[in-house]
């Protein structure tokens, strides 16, 4: 039987369903290239905004090894699109399939960043409406269906490049936000960003993170991500492609997201805490073994399997 790991996300095809999640190893062209060469299907940049930002005070990342998870409050630190553009141009010269994650404090900033980068032949723009670690933009947008609709609609009118919307799990009704994004004209839904979280040092009696609060990622959030993808697929069926994110540490986790309804997955924390080249190789081996055992010839045959 012929077997292919290639997957279609709307009208984009990538060589396998594994994509580097935004913010982890995605701050320079060299780390992004390295992750593609490690065997991923595509890479996503750190979220890029209108101006340079240094992010929140340190410590901004804290490992929770006992639950293979991380809490971070990095807070959209980035050099701004005018400077980061040079890195994207190098990725384009190398033909690295790249998705650019963008954010803004408001609609005008989202528009400015898109205008400044839309001539580049990137695979898609991922709209980060879901960062929990910032006062403006981020999840403040992603919890407001009207704002989500308006921003997506305006950006849609400005580009033909696919627009992906990255959803926050920190809402009571994800379908309401997702529907607003779809109505605005987005091409793909991505779930999930980090969960609101906090850690306290019992000896100093103070929060550990400089920003006090943060977002939880890693193994602990995988069942949450699965549930969101499942719910989105229940609602939208195959009308809109879904990408699952959160807690992928093993090939089995990727298969679980596909069965829940995802056409691809994004992987962050695990690639940042282990040797990524080995991780990607193990992921690939596991997916191929599963496909062989269950006689799947393509990723699309696995997608949504739990709903059938």
Ligand X SMILES: Cc1cc2nc3c(=O)[nH]c(=O)nc-3n(C[C@H](O)[C@H](O)[C@H](O)COP(=O)(O)O)c2cc1C
Query: Which residues does the annotation mark as catalytic?
Result: 131
**Residue 295 CB, nearest distance to ligand X (Å)?**
29
Q: Give the contacts of 3 (CB within 8 A, at least 6 positions apart).
A: 288, 291, 292, 296, 297, 298
16, 128, 143, 303: residue in contact with ligand X (rule CB under 6 A): 128
Q: How far apart are CA 37 and CA 98, in angstroms?
A: 13
Q: Single out the segment in contact with ligand X by CB under 6 A; choices: 9-17, 18-26, 156-164, 295-303.
A: 18-26
Would strands 18-20 and 264-267 be described as parallel, antiparallel, or unpaired? parallel
Residue nearest to ligand X (CB): 23
Q: Is 226 in the site for ligand X (CB under 6 A)?
A: no
14, 21, 35, 302: residue in contact with ligand X (rule CB under 6 A): 21
Q: Is 269 in the site for ligand X (CB under 6 A)?
A: yes
17, 42, 46, 233: residue in contact with ligand X (rule CB under 6 A): 46
Q: Which of 275, 256, 277, 276 is nearest to 265 (CA)?
A: 256
**Residue 6 CB, nearest distance to ligand X (Å)?**
22
Q: Is 218 in the site for ligand X (CB under 6 A)?
A: yes
**Residue 130 CB, nearest distance to ligand X (Å)?**
6
**Residue 61 CB, nearest distance to ligand X (Å)?**
5
Contact (Cβ atoms closer than 8 angstroms) between residue 102 and residue 113: yes
Q: Is 246 in the site for ligand X (CB under 6 A)?
A: yes
Using the structure block, give the residue that is written with the tokens 């580049």: 120
Using the structure block, give the residue that is written with the tokens 């890479």: 43
> What residues form DSSP beta bridges with 191?
167, 244
* Interface size with ligand X, residues (CB under 6 A): 27
> What residues form DSSP beta bridges with 127?
102, 165
Q: Which of 176, 185, 215, 227 is nearest to 61 (CA)?
A: 215
248, 262, 264, 279: residue in contact with ligand X (rule CB under 6 A): 248
Contact (Cβ atoms closer than 8 angstroms) between residue 208 and residue 60: no
Residues that bind ligand X (CB under 6 A): 21-24, 46-47, 61, 70, 72, 74, 76, 101, 128, 131, 166, 193-194, 217-218, 221, 245-248, 267-269
């Amino acid at each position: 039987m012929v077997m292919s790991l290639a997957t279609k996300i709307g009208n984009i095809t990538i060589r396998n369903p594994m994509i580097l999640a935004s913010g982890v190893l995605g701050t320079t062209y060299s780390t992004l290239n390295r992750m593609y060469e490690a065997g991923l299907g595509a890479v996503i940049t750190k979220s890029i905004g209108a101006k340079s930002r240094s992010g929140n005070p340190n410590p901004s990342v804290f490992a929770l090894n006992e639950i293979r998870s991380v809490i971070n409050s990095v807070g959209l630190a980035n050099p701004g699109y005018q400077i980061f553009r040079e890195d994207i141009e190098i990725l384009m010269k190398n033909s690295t399939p790249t998705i650019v994650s963008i954010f803004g404090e408001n609609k005008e900033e989202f528009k400015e960043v898109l205008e400044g980068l839309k001539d580049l032949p990137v695979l898609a723009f991922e709209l980060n409406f879901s960062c929990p670690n910032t006062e403006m933009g981020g999840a403040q947008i992603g919890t407001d269906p009207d704002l989500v609709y308006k921003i997506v609609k305006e950006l849609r009118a400005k580009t033909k490049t696919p627009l992906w919307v990255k959803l926050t799990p920190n809402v009571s009704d994800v379908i309401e936000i997702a529907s607003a994004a779809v109505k605005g004209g987005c091409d793909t839904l991505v779930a999930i960003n980090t969960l609101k979280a906090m850690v306290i040092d019992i000896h100093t009696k103070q929060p550990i993170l400089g920003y006090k609060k943060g977002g939880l990622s890693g193994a602990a959030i995988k069942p949450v991500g699965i549930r969101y993808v499942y719910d989105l697929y229940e609602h939208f069926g195959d009308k809109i492609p879904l990408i699952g994110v959160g807690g992928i540490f093993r090939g089995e986790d990727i298969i679980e997201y596909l069965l829940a309804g995802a056409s691809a997955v994004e992987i962050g924390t695990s690639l940042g805490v282990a040797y990524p080249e080995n991780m990607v190789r193990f992921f690939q081996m596991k997916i191929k073994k599963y496909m062989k055992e269950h006689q799947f010839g393509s990723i699309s045959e696995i997608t949504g399997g739990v709903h059938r």
